[in-house]
Amino acid sequence: MANTPQLIQLTIVALLAGLTIPLLLQLFLTARSVQRASASVERQLTDARRELHEVLATTRRDGGSGDLASMLAGAAVPALIAGIRAFRSTVHSPDQPNGVQNQPQEKVP
């Protein structure tokens, strides 16, 4: 039969293994979730950038009539709206589809 110091060491190693495996699994799942969310945001920002370039190209093609402020506002508003939509679509729980925000649960007494 093993002596007491060996049993204590075995118990400590078992406790550490029991704690680290779930922590590492949770860390992996969190990192994967962040990676997916950042890919989604990157794709949406790319779409917003493309829309901004289209608006600028249209403005330039139309002769650039008007002052600089109206040109910038015309280009910035669609980009701002796309950025807000991209941000809102990432604020959701994993079990809900993109764009659906969490609604607070009502507490029933």
Q: What single DSSP character describes residue 60?
A: H
Mean pLDDT of the chain: 78
CB 88 within 8 A of CB 47: no
The whole-number pLDDT of residue 2 equals 66
- Summarize pLDDT for 10-59 with one digit per residue, the tens: 999 999 989 999 999 999 999 999 999 998 888 988 888 888 888 778 87
Q: Give first-to-last CA distance, the chain, whole Å.
A: 57
Total-model pTM: 0.44
- Summarize pLDDT for 54-92 with one digit per residue, the tens: 877 887 777 655 666 677 777 788 888 888 888 777 765
Alpha helices in the chain (DSSP H): 4-61, 68-90
